[in-house]
Structure 1
Amino acid sequence: MRIARIVGLVVTSLLIVSPGAAVAGGSGTADGPAVIAHRGSSGIAPENTTPAIRAAVRQRADVVEIDVQRTKDGRLVNFHDCTLERTTDVEERFPGRASYRVSDFTWAELRTLDAGSWFDESFAGEPIITVREVIRLLGGRTGLLAEISPCGHYAGTGLPEQLAAELRSIPGYVDAALAGGRLGVQSFEVADAQAFHTALPEVPIGLLDADRPTEAELLELSTWADQVNPQWTVTDQALIDRVHELGMEINVWTVNEPGAMRRMRDLGVDGIITDFPQSLTQRG
């Protein structure tokens, strides 16, 4: 059985068991958390591809979360893994390469890869896309939450500053997106988040964390960060309340089960990052 067919069953069950889960502005209740589509609507389409982005927009997600990496020749692309093997046919197309890191391929080379067939053959030939292409697909209606890749080989190479420059280079984009509350950047790496914040301080910046942040970490982050974005499994009422007391927002990841979605909503998080935005927006 193909992944897409399995996913279809999962989505159906989510919609059936969580009819009260529509919580985002425009699609749900006005005071509910933002619906943040993780790598696009990645539960029903291959992550970070055009179909996943378009599905999230169609489903009226408030925000699409993406992953920012850089090609060998300096193009910013939307791709999650540090290497290409899991979600592309890179080993077939470029056999015997010494490295399959995204950053070791030119944009022209990456553009030849099939980034869809791994998910389902109906997505065969879907290419990797650039950050600019993502912004074009969002059409000024859906927000963007861009994650700076934590892959270690980018450390100290200016990736956060390049992302800031790329966003700034799109005429009118940053001002319009900020006016509508439709732009944010996040990172697992404190140094990268601080570098981006220095380069483009008006854009909200968040820190991702798989562990529960300590009080000392929260106090330090509150001096410059706008968001604390932990894994949902380490998130409780005390953490949410403390983040809010310190003047920051909290977006939790990656929440796919209906019970967990309801729990996070009821605890008062600001955003829910999910592979299945349609289960929150009730829009297919």
Structure 2
Amino acid sequence: MHARAVAAMTTAFLGVALLTPLSHARAVQSGDDDGPAVIAHRGASGYAPENTLAAVDKAAELGFRWVENDVQRTRDGELVVLHDDNLRRTTDVEEVFPDRSPWKVKDFTAAEIARLDAGSWFGSRYAGARVPTLEQYLERVEHNHQKLLLELKNPHLYPGIEQQTLKVLANEGWLDRWHVADRLVVQSFSADSVRTVHELKPAVTTGVLGTPPVSDLPEYAEFADQINPSHGSLSMSYVSSVHAFTGPHGRPMEVFAWTVDDADTARRVAGYDVDGVISNRPDVVREAMDEDTDDAGGADGSRGGFTVGR
């Protein structure tokens, strides 16, 4: 615990300096200092198997400071990073455990899940990749000096997952003031789950996934810093409506749009003045927004850059 806390403090002061000149330049372009943040969805999942350490590393290689992941819980209470509530789509669970249908995450122990190949489905070069535990994932994100948008997946299946996730984050040094200031956001489709996180740890930046009616935004502003909708549900007026409310940390509420993988959509949602864009192909989004800025002769009309957690 103490060693991790010291490491976290060191990273907070030295993290940017430890980036290579190229990756630092790309990080700036990715939204930390100008325009919307670009968040690598489940890691750079267009180029590596989603929610694996390889996808985190690919995002870092491309120069992206923000990665998004999904958290679920095993039968014996371990938190693992996986999008689906079953293991079929992204592992070889049907081959390893053919008699365990329907292969739900909650029906397998962490040791059993650790045996599964979570990379071959994406390509032979990733054969043998594993489903990481939340601890393993946090360690890799920390090692890469990245930031984390963490989604509590299916919290109704895992009572108490909010408190358990916060405990893991604390044990790994992610709830100190340097991390909660601008390196961590916890989000969920469940507003109740987000409210619970806020009540348990008010310092943590939180987001609600979806597009709630504008009439409900005053209630959400009590416990959520962000409203994070599908890009197809967005309009400029909706984004403006969200920005008009002040979240629980005294800042205008923000909007992260998902999941944007093509240049035209990236330019469209950036034009709505969103604060972040979540993408499987973050390099495509970054390039499109950079081109749009160059064509416009500057970033006029932006909100002055990404400010979450500051």
Seq. identity, %: 41
Q: Distance in 2 between matches of 1:259 and 1:171?
A: 39
Q: Give the structure 1 partner of residue 215 of structure 2.
A: 216
Structure 1 pair 258–281 and aligned structure 2 pair: CA distance change class (3 A): closer
- Check conservation: 1:23, 1:29, Cα contact below 8 A: no
Match of 1:113 in 2: 116
Matches within 5 A, 1:1-284: 25-27=28-30, 30-138=33-141, 139=143, 141-150=145-154, 152-154=156-158, 157-171=159-173, 174-179=176-181, 181-209=182-210, 212-246=211-245, 247-281=252-286
2: distance between equivalents of 1:171 and 1:67?
19
Give the deviation of 1:28 after TM superposition: 6.0
- With structure 2 as the length reference, what TM-score do the two structures score? 0.78
Q: Is the 8 A contact 2:214 2:242 kept in 1?
A: no
Q: Hey, what's the Cα distance between the residues in 1 that align with 2:122 and 2:167?
A: 33
Contact 1:23 1:30 in 2 (8 A): no
Deviations 1:19-56 (A, max 9, x none): xxx99635468321111010000001110011111001
Asked if structure 2 preserves the Cα contact closer than 8 Å seen for 1:23 and 1:33, the reply is: no
- Deviation of the 1:79 alpha carbon: 0.3
> Are the equivalent residues in 2 in contact too, given 1:35–1:272 (CA < 8 A)?
yes
1:195-246 Cα distance to aligned partner (Å, 9 max, x none): 111111111110001xx32122212101221000000111111011111110
CA contact 2:26–2:63 (8 Å) conserved in 1: no
With normalisation by structure 1, the TM-score equals 0.85
Q: Aligned to 1:25, what secondary structure does the other structure show?
A: helix
In the alignment, structure 2 segments of 5+ residues that lack a partner are 1-24, 246-251, 288-310
Note the C-alpha offset of 1:119: 0.9
Q: Secondary structure at the match of 1:134?
A: helix
Larger helix share, 1 or 2:
2
Report deviation, 1:125. 1.0
The structure showing larger relative contact order (alpha-carbon pairs under 8 Å, at least 6 residues apart) is: 1
Report if aligned partners of 1:49, 1:127 keep a CA contact under 8 Å in 2. Answer: yes
Number of residue-to-residue matches in the alignment: 256
CA shift, 1:281, in A, is 4.1
Kept in 2, the 8 Å contact 1:228–1:243? The answer is yes
Which residue identity lines up with residue 280 of structure 1 in the other structure?
V
| TM-aligned CA distance change 1:276 to 1:98, over 3 Å | closer
Q: CA deviation at 1:104?
A: 1.1
Distance (Å, rounded) in 2 between the aligned partners of 1:29 and 1:199 = 28
CA distance in 2, matches of 1:63, 1:112: 28
Specify every segment of 5 or more residues in structure 1 that has no aligned partner in the other structure, as ranges.
1-21
| 1:70, distance to aligned residue in structure 2 (A) | 1.0
Q: Is contact 1:24-1:34 (8 Å) kept?
A: no
Partner SS, residue 219 of structure 1: helix
Write the distance in 1 (CA, Å) between the matches of 2:26 and 2:202.
Answer: 29
**Matched residue SS, 2:197:** helix
The separation in 2 between residues aligned to 1:59 and 1:214, in whole angstroms, is 36
